[in-house]
Every structure is written in C-alpha cells, then in structure tokens.
Structure 1
C-alpha cells in the first residue's frame, strides 16, 4: 500500500476527504451517539449579504474546532448553521438591482430582497462547506423562513403579554440614508467634524435679570436651534452676569467665565459685574429665539435639569426635546410639548416654528444648517463659531453620521428586565474573562430598545392603527389573531394591498374594520436573530441551559449576545429564575493585516479565504484548507487576529512539517499485521521517556481544549513534533527502524511508540485539521483503523496512567541531562562538519570524561544511539577543562565532551562507522542480513 499523501489534489479533497469528515461524520454521530451527551453550539447567523471574508473563516472554523473536540469526547453534537436574512442592506441591494426601484410595491421589494438573501445563503454555504465545516446543513435556519418568523412573533407576543412592549413618541437615532430608526447596536462611533457655536438668546422677562441680558449657550448641532423649547440650568450652580466688548451682557456659569471668555475671544474684555444668581432663581426667566424683530412672538422658559453641569460649555444648555434624550426627559418633567420638525429624509419639514418656515425642505446636516447659521449671524446672535472634532454616532452600515429625531416607535422595556438579565450572566462562563464586563456594561446602559424599523423587508409588526388618531390597536387578542393569520397566509400577505383590513382584524373589532389600517413597519433584525434560541427551546424543552456555547465577534456584545439574552429573559416562564440561552459565551476579535490595520476594500488590504487556500498568484502561496484552518487555530483569537503573506508562509511550513511527520510514521507502520503489544517494563528508556512526553502532551492538550485555548494546543503539538519526536526520538531511532531486525526489542519498541504517537496526534489534531487527519486515516493500515471510517469514531485516545507516573517523570527528568549532552555533541559535530573533517554525525566518535553517575549507568551502545554517532568512549576521571575546539566542558554536569573522527570503517548497510574492515558489514548488519532473503537491498534509503 502506498503511503503517499495526496492533499495536493484538490479534486480528491473535495470529493472524498471533506465529505468523509463532514457530511458522513455528522450523520454517523447523529445516528450512533445519544442525546444524553448532547452538546449544542448555536450558530450566530451571519448576514446573508455579500461575499465571505477572513472574519467568516475565523468564526466558522473556531466553531468547528469546538464541536469536533466535543465529538472526540464521544459527545453527540448539534450545530445547525443559520443566516440573518432581513434588514436594510439586503433591501437596498435588491432595490439597486431593480430597473424601476422607486415605483416598486412593498410585495415586489420583498420578493427581490428574498432573492438576494437566498443567493447569498447559497454562495456562503458553499464556501463554509469548502472549509471542512461540519454541521446540519440540510436543516439550516433562515430568519426569513415562515416557521422562524412565526416563532419570532411568538416571542414578541409573550413580551407584549408581560407589558414589555410599548409605543412612544421620543427621540431615536435616525439614519437619513435608510430613512429608519436605529438601535444602539447599529451604531459605531468615529471622529466627526461638527460645527460648534456659542449662541445668544435674548431675555424677554426675568424677576432678577436686566432686560438687555442674553443667555449664552454652546451647541455642536446648530441645526437643532429652531427646535429649541427651553434653556436648562442646574439648580445648585451659580451663574454670573458679565459685560463684554462685542456681545453685550451675557449670563454664564460662574465656574466657566474664564473658559467662555477665551472661547469667544473676550479674554480681556469679558468682565463679571458682581451680580450672581443660583440656577433656582432663574426659573421664572423667559427668552425668545434670536430671530429678526417681530419674526416670532414665541417665548420659552428657563428650566431646571440635573444633567446640566459646569464642566464644559457655558453651564446653560440649549434644550431641543425632539433631538436629544436628556432634553426629551426634561421636557416631559416640565410639561413642554414635544414635536418633530425634521422629516424621514433628514430635511426640515412643515409645520416649522414661527420665524423658521423658510428652512422647510432643506437638509439639516447640509444647507439647512448653513441657513440657520447665516440667519443667526445676521442678527448678531453668534458669539463664536468654529469646527469641532469629537466622537459621533455613525450608521454602521452606511458609515454616515446619524441624527437624533423624535418619531413614533415601538420599544422594549429593558429597564424592567435589566436586573434579571445581569443576574443571568452570573451563571455564564466567559472566554476571555473580561468580556463579561463588556456585555454587562452594554446591557446596563440600556433602558429601552427601539425594535421598530420603517422598512418593508423584515418581520412585520402585528399592529393595526386608527385612521383618525393613529393610535395602535394593541390588545393581546388582536396581536395574537394577526400572528395566526400570518402563520396561515405568510408574512408577505401583510404587505399585499389586495388584502383589506378585514383579513387582519379580530372578529371582536370587525365592526370598526374600516377605521383601521396597517403600516409598513418591521421588527429590528437584532430581534430577528435574538429569537433564534427558540429553535433549541422547541426541540429540547427540558434542557437546563439551551446552548452550551455561543461564539461570535466582540461587536456582538452590543448585538446578538445581548438581544438573545434580553428576549430569553423577557419570555422566561413566570415563577422561574430567568437564564441566558447560553452556558458559555466566547468572543473573538477582528481580522487585521500585518500592519495592524482593519481589513477594508477601500484600503486594498483584504485577503480572501480562497486566496489562502488556492493562492493568488502574487505574494500568497496556496496552503490548502488545512492552512486556512491552522491559521485560525494558532491565533490568539480573543484579540484581533492578523493575517498576511508572511504569517501564511509560516503556516505552510508547519503544514509541510506535519505531513512529513505523518508520512514517516505511516511508512513505519505500513505492515499487514498489527505490531504486537509490549509490556511497559520491557521498553527501553528512550521509549519510556517518549511515552511520558506523549502523555503530558495529551493531558495538556485536553486541558487547553477544555478552556478553548486552541493556539496553546497548536504550540504544544508543534513543539512536540519538532523537539520531542523529530529532534529526539526519530533522530535516535531512525537507525534502528532502518537497520535492526524486526524482531529486536529496540525496533519493536520504536514501532509501538509510533503507533501510540499516531493515535495521540490524530486525537489532538483532528478538531483543527480534520481533512489532513482523514487523509492520514485513509492511508493508515487496516488493522490501525479497526473498521472505523474516521478517527473521530475512535474518539479521544487515552494513554495508561502508568506512563505519566512519578517514576516516569523522574526518568524523563534524568533524560533531560542526556539531552543536554546530546546537544553539546551536535554543537561539536557542527564544528567538525564546518572544517570538513566529517560529513555527518555517524562519522564521529564521542569521548565522555567525568565522574558523573550518568557515565556509570548508561552503556556505550545506548549513548551512541542517543548521540547518533558511531562510537562512544567513557573515561571515569576528573574532566579536564581545555580550550580544544573539539572539546566542551559542561560545568553543570562536571563532564567534558570531546568529538573526533571515528577510527573504524563505514558499514555499507547502516552507514555507521563500526566495521572492522573497509567494505564489510558491521556485526549487527551481518547478523540481520543473514536472516533476510538475498534479494533484499543491503543499503538503506537515504
């Protein structure tokens, strides 16, 4: 049987190895392992939009390593891949492909969006499978499937029943590009250059202030000034009246007089008058907008607010209730009306406040703001205006700044369940540990979750609205009835204009049918994916913890991790302690280039997973699927992970080393009959030490796997292959394996050890490199496979505890001293080779001089095998410290090591310099040759 390994043949990988270690294996374990040991890794659904990237590889392969390790432990595994299929990006992509997008109906838009999502799922699934990802692909879940949508709506229904869902007109983050509300999880913060302005509001009435005084505010959103309804002060702060050279009398916080003076270029001419007032004294003061005379008769109050501080600005806060959450809450406390003057498109909209009507139709972030500033300049209301750089929220998909505007939206009351949610996290294991604090912080920072979106591609909100009042028909019986109709008709039917309201209204309200209508509103996609735990709950209702593991990127602390937690806690059965849907939560970082930059198409530093596998004809050479998987496994995934041509080249070297090692082991074991087992006590010391080191590797690897430290597994295995196996065991035993008689203890012991090493290596490497391990398995002897189709069927190999007991550890520790001598011999041999005295270690004779017990305990033949030389002499005396180039004194062992050219002849069979006469076989080879057929070659393969 050939021991050639064929992974360079992509067709064979695709047609044989991948199916064997994915589809066939998943079916086998589902049929042969029991649910009692079931391990569930629940898939956080990737977004069904666009091509896969290295972040997908990192995510999917990490998950695959975990479930394969659990399978190695003979646990039945469940991994059902999923896809997040709704949302704005897919809807926009669908509209981009449409010829007449602006005239498409909602059903037509949904049909196109569904097609876009389906195509992405098909493409991504094919890519994921090509990476050797094992899972229940035939039963993948899609959030756009009706059964999933109904399950999600049932979650919403339960939250409505608990009183956790409400509608409110309040400020929300608004994406102008998508014309929809955004949740906090859909924001990212970046440096933005805003326009900051110090603006004067003239007083109309005050019990204590002169009439010619202006209240000075500072804002970074001048476009919100037309929406101003109040100026807020802190009740306990002190405010000082100042005179200025250019801006008249101004009132500012006493603590900020100097800072304000410098900011408005009045550092030498802004003079406090000595008149100071508490914030509480200013409450009866009113003011007007700084518009041209008689442009507006409206006046506005000074109010108290706890959020006002004197740390920055002027200590007086411009309050626009429709454009800020703190402003909104202050308005409610002071019974100030909240209305919106900005439309869905981000433009000022009628009716506008008196005096500001000319702004209607202008973009608030562009020409609208320019016009506001122009008007204020004309009335001398601006004390100073300048650019201002600060962190600002951006729409994470469009990378554009958002605005805050008041609209009617549906919210989930997070405040009511926050305590239970945080408590549920105390039962979760986090990797890395600090990620727990991150998730707790994000959860604690939320009071409400905006779950409504003003789009058509998503799960519709099952609520009808009154045509005259726009009030929702939000009764549990109405919502339940609509959900049942969607279950029968499909969610697309909600957007079908041919279906009248009568198809959706509960019989109880049928008489009022003509008074109600339905809206094109959908549920936040985080609610979509956050309901996916119901797939497990419905199938395994008795599980204490639904999923053993959730694993996603660090951005999901604000997204899927949190939405899953909130929906699970919100719908927990009454009388039970709410639990998170996951027992272990694992977080990985993002992918970076070799310079530490985030990968981006615009920068041009993106590496495609297919380039890693197949090469790109440029810097990146092909590493195969094994290379892509090894890159993931060796990464410290808790941090951001770099990928580059240099890193991938190192990965390729590791793969080659592993393949060479497996090829050597298979060559040794390539026999028709299984080598006979050996009594441990009969094994030579080399094998006992090798088995001890193998046992330590197996134990430490299992511990690393149990703690999801895959990079540590890779490091330990690479070290063992290079240092323990290749540089030590194989280096020593290669001669015996080539030249000894098969019946000798030494050769039998070496073969026995390599058999154990192969089983251990397949156990450790199987989860990481299943394709390579499947290939090795296919080419291993029939007796080794024992009728099993995969190394995973064999399971995690266990070694006898005897091999790692205290006696074995002591023997291994003693052998470390011998390794030090071996390293010294190699150093001296290198000097002989450099001076062209010898060509290899086999041409050398080693002389050891000293009184160490090591010389007494070990005979010359053992030491010659250990040093891979032909001769060893031992001199038991006080070692001489010499400056001889070919002699080294080892003071730690009180031993001198000398090397010379061997004084015997080269054996033509084993190549050791141990023959008495030139051209003759050495004694060992002569004995072995006499037992072999004459046709057997007498010279080993180099």
Structure 2
C-alpha cells in the first residue's frame, strides 16, 4: 500500500443509463419531515419512531451570543484566572512575558490589539503547559505628546509643577481608557493598579534612578557640548531611535564656491597645475542644508580620489568622477596633494584665519563634487571626524541656532557684516533663514546652481516634522565600550523571525553614544546640580546617594518643588548651585523596565531581576525598546555578569487595510479594535463580532509580515469562528444524549475500536502534535490552519457525516458507545487546542461539558475520574491535552486515504444523479465496486476494500456498498445508473451507483427495508 497518499486517476467517462426521479430529501430534512408529518409505514406512527431516535441535544445555541458569552466568562478567564494561577502555582516553573509598555495617549488602535492578543496567546498556551505565568501590563507615561496635550489651555508661564500635574492627570486618564479597552480583548491579566506598572509610578521612577546611578558609577554618563538631533517642533533633543525617515522630503541644494588664496595652497597643489589655473581658484561644495554654511569650519576631501580643476568663469576644484562634472577639466591631482591647502568662505570675518582641509574616507566622488562642506556644530559626522583629526581642540563649535530652530545673535560673532548676520537673526533655518542664505550667496556671486531635490531626511517620530542638527550641552550614555558585550549576549537570544537578529545587531553597531537628556518638564529628572556662575555640572554616584533618598521620601515632583539646599550633598556644601532642568529620554524610562522583574507581584527574586522568557513588540522596536532594554541592562550589570534581558525576541508587522494601504482617518479605512468587538453604526457598519473573532483574525495572519484587515476579511474570520464553534456544539450534543446501554463497559482503547474511530483518533493525534509544535514556535496561523482543516474536513465533512446515522439510530450497544467515547476524547482535546486563541468559546464548551458529565448516567468510578479532570472552574487550569502517541495509526490513516479517495469519485457520481433528477438523498443509492484488473488474483487494494466492505456504505453515505468481481446487470430498465472507471494506487476500479432495490425505513430513512417489513433489520434490533 505504501506510505503516500492514495493516488486516483480517472480512466474513462461515466456511463449514464435511463434516469427516473426517486423523490427524497437530505437526511436532516428527512428527520424533520419524519417528526413533523409522519409516514405511511404500518405499525408505529412516525412520531412514535422519532421518540426512539437518539438525537443530539446541544447545550449551547447554534449562533453564538457573543455579548452574553463575554459577560458569562470574562472574569473567569481573565483577571480571576490570572490571580488564581499565580496563587496556586507557586511551586511551578515560571514563564515570564515582559510587556513593552504602550504609550498612554488616547484610545487603542488595531496595532495595539494585535500586540496584546499575540502576547496573550503565548501566555495562555504556557498556562496550559502547567507554568506559573507572570505578565504585568505596563504603560509608558512620560514624554512630549502627553506634555503637549497638557499645555493646551495652560498659561504659557505655567510652572513645571503645574505642567507635570496636568500631564500626570492626562496620562492617568489615558491609562484607564486603555485598561478598559484591553480588558475587552479578554487578556489573561489583572489590569488593576497593584498588578500593573506605569512609568510615572514613584516606585518605578526610583528604580529607574537606581539603574541610572549604576551607569554614573561606571563613568558611562557624560555631559558634552556637541551636535545632536533636535526637533524644533518639540523643542527638545532626540535620540536616533526617535527618528523616522521620509524618502520624499524636498530640499533646496546649492553649489557654492569657497575661494583659495595662492598663499594658502599646498606646495603639491601649486606644483601640480599651471599657474594660470591657480588664479581665482575655488573649492566647489554641494550641500542640501544651505543654512549651515555660516557655521562652516572645514572642507573634507578623500586623499585617494583624483581631483581636477575645471576652467570657467571661476576655476574650481572638484573630483574627477563627480556626478555632475563641469566642462573644460584641466589637469589631474590626487587628493593627498590638496591636503595642507586652506580656504575662506563668504561668512568668515576678513581677519579670520583660513579654514583647513582634511581627508575623510566617507567622502565619495559619486555624490556631489567630492568636496564636502563641514559644519561640526550641525553635523555629527563632521564633529566626530574633525574631533578625531584634532581640528576642534582650539576652536569652539559654531552653532548659532536656538531651540526653535531660528538663528540667534551668536551669529554676529562669526559673520563679518552685521547686515548679513542681522538679516538672519530670528529666522527659521528650515524656512526663511535658508532662503535668505541662498539670496545672499546668489547676490554675492558665490553660488552657481540651486536645485530642489527629493531625498531621504529624518523627521521627529512624534510630531512628524523635519529635524535639524544643532550643538547643545546634553547628557550622553557612552556605549562604545559595551557594544561588544551587548552583541555577545545576543548570541544566546532566539529571534522570531530570525531576520530580527541582524536588524537589532546593526542598530547597536551603529551607536557610540546615546543622548539621554530631554529639555522637557514631564519626565524623570536627570538629578544633576549646576554651578550658577559657570554652569559646571555635578553628577556622581556620591551625589546620587544623597539625592535619590530625598526623592524616594518626597516623590519625584520634589525635584521641581523643593529647595536646592535639600539636594546638595555634604561634599558640595558651600557652592552656589541650581538644580538641572533636563529629564530622561522616554526610551530610558521604558528601557529600565527589566528591573521590575526583580520583584514579581511582591515576591522578591533572589539573585536580582529574572530574564524574560519572551519580549514581543512591533518590528520598529529593534531601534527602540529592544535596544534600550538591552543596553541599560548591560551597562547596569556588574562586570562579568552581563546577560540579555530576554531569551526570545518576537516581532510583528503593521496592520494595513484589505487593499494593502496604510490606515488613515482621511482615507476612511481605519478599523478600531473596539468597533470589531462591539460593532459600529458608522458608515462602514460592523456587526458585533466579539473578542474571539478579533483574536481569531489576529492568529490567522502571519504576523511576521504586515497584516491586512477589512470588512471582507472580518467576515471570513467570523465564518471560520462559527464553523469551529459548531463542531464543538455537535460533539456536545452527542454527549448530551442520555445513555441507556451498557456504558460501564465503554471501550476507549485502540484494539476495541473500528477503522473509522482509529482513523479519527490518528487525525486527532496528528492535529494535536501540529498545533502544539506551532504554538511552541509562535506560528499561530499554522494552528488556525490545522484546526480549521480538522474541524471542517476531518470532523464535519467526514467523521460526523460517517457517524451521524449510527449515533441517531443504532442500539446503545458497545459499538455505539465506542463512538461516544471517541467524541468525548475529541471534544476534550479540541477545546484545549482552541483555548489560547478563543478563550471565551473554550470556556463555554468547557462549562457545557462539565454539566453534561455531572448529569450523565455513568458509573461512579468514571464519574469521579472525569470530575477530577474537569472540576476546575476555568479550562485553562487543566493540563494541555496531549494525545498519546499510541493513537498514531499509520495503517488506519493509509486505509482511510484510499476509502476517502474512492468516496470522492462516488460523491461525484451521486451528484450527477442528482443533477439528472434521478436521485434525492444519497441514502437512496447503492454502490458497486468492481476489480477491473486483469490479474488472476484480486489487486491488494481491492482485497483491502473487501476486508472493510461493511464500512463502505458508512463512508460513502449510501444505503449499501458492495465489492464484486463483476457488477450485476441492472434488471430494471427504467432505473438510473452511473458508472465511472478510476485507478487508485495502481488498482483499476469500476464504480457504479444505482437506486436501492429496497424501500425506505420510516425510522432511519435508509433504503434498506424489505417491502413487507415495518422497519429495516437494524432498526428492528434497536427497538428490541
């Protein structure tokens, strides 16, 4: 037979004979008609026969009343369940999923729902594995967006204390809104304050300051005046992780001449070119930020690139392979020959010394002119390169731009004419100031060509506005010395998807410093003291030893409210000091959250904070929370004790509409998670789907990529939900049928079961194993696919169809009891497989199952066993329903593959009979299977069919099915007949379907009753 699937090949067209209509209906309709209208069969009336059938009694309605289900089971499967497992499993293995806190700003969007539901599926699966699950939901509560909301309506002169008070209130309101909305998604968590965290909690802030103190103690926190990303819209410094890049940003680029005097040329440059070319010689630079030209301090070239002098109205030096070369290139010189040359530019004072030229490897000939304008006060690359070259040791940075992005009066200290500098003061460098620089250069004849270009440019991630680079005094965490340690510990971390590893590693490699200071009021203060006269900052582990206890006693707001004297440590007494006004980067806030795991719901952990088993966030958090969480833990750890804060990192994509477009209110394609759960009366009306449909949609998508949602997609999820629930409903209905037979002798082991039961138990084994492996690998879409396939095909379309007749009509003997026992096993495992994704449905099934078991007439021994298994209030306090490998049955699987393949051909012939109006119900038909092989002995496949001949009519859904060496002639010339020839696993078969020669039994509606009898033989025995 082999181990592969049965192979079917059709070898001839079906033969069609005379067709005559035989009136009937499908089995379900027949039973209804049978019960309601009676029958002509002598003896008992149809109503009397109906009372003898064992019809299912489903304890749950056919259509889920999602609102009522949520009300009935929410507490049982969410907060109460979380507290119960936490208290009852103190001796069990921990599973910790550390929550990356969402920002406490308004209502939740669909991305929040995806994130929380994915986490919840993981936690619920681990709970079913017997673990003690720790999940403390959190909120990120500081930062600019909340402060901006607080400032609306406040007096511009409002004190920091007032701003913080209003900000805290707004964040608190948002937390409560999101708390209630998360609860509607049926998350396994207690969202009340004692079980959750907020970054504005006093205990959290003090813990964060302790982490900060460890970094200060190691000398990794420094204050520097250097260029940083700055958001004029937000009025604060930004870290790299707070930037987003717009590929369609438009800037005005300009080519500008920097004149070179003969006495400032290097000897090599003078020797390399004709003296006439050295007259009126200029460097030609190209820049997309003309506003930085007044702050120019050097030009960079590449000493390994060839440069030329291009003759024109002015002679200019550019790279030989420049992207936009000018005509009349005269002579060539290596970049190294130009080093030592100096130049002047338009915005220098006449008596100012010329500016230097230096070499940088990042200068390329295929971008611009190969000569790069450097303003280290407005560019990090310029700053670091010039610092390394020693060019800034005796020269302060030039950065005459304020926090609003406007030129300041400081420009007058560098620009030669007051009319030039004066016309720039107060103008925005991103707008009018930039235009004024271009005008001045054009009128002075210093610019050659201005062109608007579209290019990639950084934006503030919160305000979605362009940023600038300006030099300010900021606090930095130095990570240059810890990067390798961070990369080393990542080797022991698993990533799903694996591509996340390279992404996180690349962001870490690119960083050398982390700007952690922000110029805002709503945040955790950087508790530094400053000399009032010199602005010298004092921040040390010793000073923090004094300051942190003060804040721990009075609260963080005391930094703004209390007198400076309370914060001055003994070793600084006598100095005239003020408190610093900078607050910490919000990424430092949330990045310190690993320290929470040292105290799990009041249980202090020996050895310090535990490592989270899983951290799961959006893919954008590689540059955000995943990175800050890792870096703060590595920096704060004792030498030699560095570990990653997580064992597994999981990332998900973003949610798009069903056409693949980004969701936007202006496009009207936004779908809120609460609208899916509770429905909406808006233009794009959604029905009340409930939390389980939202969860099923989430689990169905491959979250490692972007996901799509829309009305059509949600309809598909709702239909899948209905089918999954209805399979359980049918099994519950079967179990609810009162048992009157010898149920104390139920056979639930493989030797006592027939082929069909062995096959469905093998399918259950395969499905449970597939689902378990997929849950363990966080591949929830595979779980949904396996469950849907098992429910709609293996159960509904096959097993239930095969066994309905026996359940309804057979005597309550051991054979039927074995079927019921299998149904019990199926249901018990099925609800467990569903539970992590559909907790409400699982609880509904579980409660109904409990009630059936308690009400059933089973032996006392079995009742005690079952109640012991099911007496827990929630389905999640049961163990995971592992199906023993003893149920794996290759023989049953391969045999049923052959029977199911033949069944497909039989169903095709029956459908043709219906189309020809010769057949109503499949019960009216009989099937003949003939061995069409030419061998002397029957083919081994045909021998298999002969062995299982009693089951063939059950599998085909007909009244009879026979195997035969030759199909008998049809003696009724008016009867219909359909024939087909197929080849299955190299066995040629002839299949013929005809009308049954017998009549319809008024009890079971099978066409198996001899005309003179009241009932068929099977029903007669059932009623004895």
> Into which bin does the TM-score normalised by the smaller protein fall?
over 0.9
Q: CA deviation at 1:894?
A: 1.2
Deviations 1:212-257 (A, max 9, x none): 111110001011111111122223333222211xx4111112232x
Residues 885 and 303 (structure 1 numbering): CA distance in 2 closer, same or farther, change over 3 Å?
farther
State how far apart, in whole Å, the 1-side matches of 2:201 and 2:285 are. Answer: 52
Residues 710 and 444 (structure 1 numbering): CA distance in 2 closer, same or farther, change over 3 Å?
same
Q: CA deviation at 1:782?
A: 3.5
Q: Does 1:604 align with 2:668?
A: yes
Counterpart of 1:265 in structure 2 is none
Q: CA deviation at 1:183?
A: 0.6
State how far apart, in whole Å, the 2-side matches of 1:30 and 1:290 are. Answer: 71
2:761 to 687, 691, 715: 691
Q: CA deviation at 1:920?
A: 2.5
Alignment of 1:82-161 (within 5 A): 82-96=138-152, 98=153, 100-138=154-192, 139-161=195-217
2:991 to 893, 897, 913: 897
Counterpart of 1:756 in structure 2 is 825
Q: CA deviation at 1:742?
A: 1.6
1:316 to 357, 365, 371: 371
Counterpart of 2:17 in structure 1 is none
The DSSP-based 3-state class of the residue aligned with 2:377 is: helix
Counterpart of 2:919 in structure 1 is 838
Q: Does 1:342 align with 2:401?
A: yes
Q: Does 1:886 align with 2:978?
A: yes
State how far apart, in whole Å, the 1-side matches of 2:61 and 2:595 are. Answer: 44
The DSSP-based 3-state class of the residue aligned with 1:255 is: coil
Counterpart of 1:232 in structure 2 is 300
Answer yes or no: is the 8 Å Cα contact 2:294–2:347 preserved in 1: no
For the aligned residue pairs, the C-alpha RMSD in angstroms reads: 2.1
Deviations 1:766-817 (A, max 9, x none): 111011010111112244553221222221112232211xxx2122112110
Residues 744 and 672 (structure 1 numbering): CA distance in 2 closer, same or farther, change over 3 Å?
closer
Answer yes or no: is the 8 Å Cα contact 1:223–1:364 preserved in 2: yes
State how far apart, in whole Å, the 1-side matches of 2:87 and 2:441 are. Answer: 76
Structure 2: gaps of 5 or more residues:
1-56, 271-277, 855-865, 932-937, 970-975
Q: CA deviation at 1:309?
A: 2.5
Deviations 1:679-726 (A, max 9, x none): 421111110111111111111111111111111011011101111111
The DSSP-based 3-state class of the residue aligned with 2:203 is: helix
State how far apart, in whole Å, the 2-side matches of 1:186 and 1:522 are. Answer: 16
Counterpart of 2:314 in structure 1 is 248
Counterpart of 1:934 in structure 2 is none
State how far apart, in whole Å, the 2-side matches of 1:146 and 1:394 are. Answer: 32
Residues 732 and 36 (structure 1 numbering): CA distance in 2 closer, same or farther, change over 3 Å?
closer
Q: CA deviation at 1:574?
A: 2.2
Counterpart of 1:937 in structure 2 is none
State how far apart, in whole Å, the 2-side matches of 1:176 and 1:885 are. Answer: 84
State how far apart, in whole Å, the 1-side matches of 2:430 and 2:609 are. Answer: 51
Answer yes or no: is the 8 Å Cα contact 1:906–1:919 preserved in 2: no
Q: Does 1:680 align with 2:750?
A: yes
State how far apart, in whole Å, the 2-side matches of 1:633 and 1:450 are. Answer: 38
Deviations 1:151-196 (A, max 9, x none): 0011110011111111111111111100101111111111211111
Deviations 1:399-429 (A, max 9, x none): 1111111111111111110000001100011
State how far apart, in whole Å, the 1-side matches of 2:66 and 2:715 are. Answer: 19
Counterpart of 1:402 in structure 2 is 467
Counterpart of 2:1001 in structure 1 is 907
Q: Which moved more, 1:643-652 or 1:227-236?
A: 227-236
Counterpart of 1:940 in structure 2 is none
TM score, norm. by length of structure 2: 0.86
Counterpart of 2:955 in structure 1 is 866
Answer yes or no: is the 8 Å Cα contact 1:218–1:314 preserved in 2: yes
State how far apart, in whole Å, the 1-side matches of 2:132 and 2:747 are. Answer: 31
TM score, norm. by length of structure 1: 0.93
Residues 859 and 9 (structure 1 numbering): CA distance in 2 closer, same or farther, change over 3 Å?
closer
Answer yes or no: is the 8 Å Cα contact 1:453–1:521 preserved in 2: yes
Counterpart of 1:733 in structure 2 is 803
State how far apart, in whole Å, the 1-side matches of 2:725 and 2:953 are. Answer: 29
Alignment of 1:697-846 (within 5 A): 697-745=767-815, 747-780=816-849, 781-783=852-854, 786-804=870-888, 808-846=889-927
State how far apart, in whole Å, the 1-side matches of 2:922 and 2:875 are. Answer: 38
State how far apart, in whole Å, the 2-side matches of 1:574 and 1:404 are. Answer: 35
The DSSP-based 3-state class of the residue aligned with 1:47 is: coil
State how far apart, in whole Å, the 2-side matches of 1:830 and 1:768 are. Answer: 37
State how far apart, in whole Å, the 1-side matches of 2:426 and 2:353 are. Answer: 23
Alignment of 1:523-672 (within 5 A): 523-538=584-599, 539-542=604-607, 546-576=611-641, 578-617=642-681, 618=684, 620-670=686-736
Residues 914 and 194 (structure 1 numbering): CA distance in 2 closer, same or farther, change over 3 Å?
same
State how far apart, in whole Å, the 1-side matches of 2:236 and 2:660 are. Answer: 34
Q: CA deviation at 1:614?
A: 2.7
Q: Which moved more, 1:364-373 or 1:674-683?
A: 674-683
State how far apart, in whole Å, the 2-side matches of 1:510 and 1:678 are. Answer: 84
Counterpart of 2:275 in structure 1 is none
Q: CA deviation at 1:511?
A: 1.4
2:578 to 502, 505, 517: 517
Deviations 1:639-679 (A, max 9, x none): 11111111111101111111211111111111577873434
Answer yes or no: is the 8 Å Cα contact 1:906–1:918 preserved in 2: no
Counterpart of 2:218 in structure 1 is 162
Residues 186 and 219 (structure 1 numbering): CA distance in 2 closer, same or farther, change over 3 Å?
same
Residues 794 and 863 (structure 1 numbering): CA distance in 2 closer, same or farther, change over 3 Å?
same
1:201 to 245, 249, 258: 258
State how far apart, in whole Å, the 1-side matches of 2:979 and 2:580 are. Answer: 91
Q: CA deviation at 1:285?
A: 2.9
Answer yes or no: is the 8 Å Cα contact 1:217–1:318 preserved in 2: yes
State how far apart, in whole Å, the 1-side matches of 2:316 and 2:483 are. Answer: 44
Q: Which moved more, 1:678-687 or 1:916-925?
A: 916-925
Structure 1: gaps of 5 or more residues:
262-269, 931-942
The DSSP-based 3-state class of the residue aligned with 2:665 is: coil
Residues 251 and 799 (structure 1 numbering): CA distance in 2 closer, same or farther, change over 3 Å?
closer
State how far apart, in whole Å, the 2-side matches of 1:288 and 1:156 are. Answer: 45
2:337 to 281, 284, 291: 281
Question: Larger relative CO (CA 8 A, sep 6+): 1 or 2?
Answer: 2
Deviations 1:745-776 (A, max 9, x none): 1x212111111111111111111101101011
State how far apart, in whole Å, the 2-side matches of 1:879 and 1:399 are. Answer: 81
State how far apart, in whole Å, the 2-side matches of 1:710 and 1:762 are. Answer: 16
The DSSP-based 3-state class of the residue aligned with 1:214 is: strand
State how far apart, in whole Å, the 2-side matches of 1:723 and 1:644 are. Answer: 26
State how far apart, in whole Å, the 1-side matches of 2:1015 and 2:241 are. Answer: 78
Counterpart of 1:215 in structure 2 is 283
1:329 to 384, 389, 397: 384
State how far apart, in whole Å, the 1-side matches of 2:966 and 2:939 are. Answer: 9
Q: CA deviation at 1:279?
A: 3.2
1:386 to 451, 469, 472: 451
Answer yes or no: is the 8 Å Cα contact 1:7–1:775 preserved in 2: no
Answer yes or no: is the 8 Å Cα contact 1:879–1:894 preserved in 2: no
Answer yes or no: is the 8 Å Cα contact 2:597–2:609 preserved in 1: no
